[in-house]
Amino acid sequence: MMRVLCFLSLLTLGACAVRADQYWIAWEGTELPEVQGPWLRSLGYGGAKRTINNGILTYDSLHNINIWDYSYIERQRKIDPGPGEMFVMEWRLRVRKVIGDADPTTSVASDEAWMVGFAYAEDRIFSVFENFLEIPIEPGRMHEYRLLSTDMRAYDLFIDGGLVRRGAFSKRITSSYVGWGDGVQGAASLHEWDYFRFGVIPEPATGVSLAVPFLACVVGANRRVSP
């Protein structure tokens, strides 16, 4: 059985403050996340081999299943949307190969420590804190993901523009946190990121189509997904 200890843990990076409680942070693939900040990097066993080519950041950890290597931000109670606002997180990712169950991860924790985390295999994603619920994806291609929430308790997840999951955040310990990258210790992978963006914007008046740019866990007896 998979066991989870939580890390869950995004490039021209820019933050755009519309009001005191609205913001936008976007990594667009021009530099490594920690080079531009405010992203921080957590890694173990030397980290993955990382390269950027034509705006795509590639992680290669196939040489060592013990590696983890992810980017994260802690915003000190400045994650959540207010009334009439929406939290948006979006990313574009291709998983080329995984040794193990899953290796790349994305995660977000609210200011009140409610969390959603996903781990990725070649042909599916897992909602880590929803009993490892599986969502199938087409293997071998880039997929566009978008997570929306108005209250950081429930979320809608879209893949390639289609709604695939209406789920719930899970109460954890980590708060005000966003992370992504090679997040599972005990698995290895080759995966590519085009962009990672998140922020709080005005809630759309109708519908959910947005025209905006927008784990450490242990999985298994010796598997840790970072925060």
Region of poorest pLDDT, from 20-34, 89-103, 182-196, 202-216: 202-216
- How many domains does the structure of the chain reveal? 1
What's residue 48's pLDDT?
A: 98
Nearest to 33 by CA among 190, 184, 195: 195
Mean pLDDT in residue range 88-111 = 98
Burial 18-50 (b: 16+ CB within 10 A, else e): eeeebbbbbbbbeebbbeeeebeebbeeebbeb
Residue 7 lies in a domain: no
Residue 54 lies in a domain: yes
Residue 9 lies in a domain: no
What's residue 37's pLDDT?
A: 84
Residue 1 lies in a domain: no
Tokens matching residue 31: 């530099």
Q: Which residues neighbour 45 within 8 Å (Cβ) at sequence distance 6 or greater?
A: 64, 66, 67, 68
What's residue 151's pLDDT?
A: 98
Whole-number average pLDDT of the chain: 86
* 8-state DSSP, 34: H
Specify whether the backbone of 131 is left (phi greater than 0), alpha (psi in -120 to 50) or beta: left
Tokens matching residue 222: 């010796």
- Inter-residue contact 136 to 123 (CB < 8 Å): yes
- Inter-residue contact 202 to 85 (CB < 8 Å): yes
Of the pLDDT bands very low, low, confident and very high (cuts 50, 70, 90), residue 120 is: very high
Residue 29 lies in a domain: yes
Of the pLDDT bands very low, low, confident and very high (cuts 50, 70, 90), residue 8 is: very low
The pTM of the full predicted model, rounded to 2 decimals, is 0.84
- Residue 115 belongs to what domain range? 14-226
pLDDT at 226 over 70: no
What's residue 212's pLDDT?
A: 42
pLDDT at 223 over 70: no
Residue 2 lies in a domain: no
H helices present in the chain, as ranges: 33-36
What is the C-alpha separation between 135 and 113, in angstroms, rounded? 24
Q: What is the CATH number of the domain that holds 101?
A: 2.60.120.200
Residue 6 lies in a domain: no
Residue 75 lies in a domain: yes
What's residue 165's pLDDT?
A: 98
Of the pLDDT bands very low, low, confident and very high (cuts 50, 70, 90), residue 56 is: very high
| Helix, strand or coil, per DSSP, at residue 6 | coil
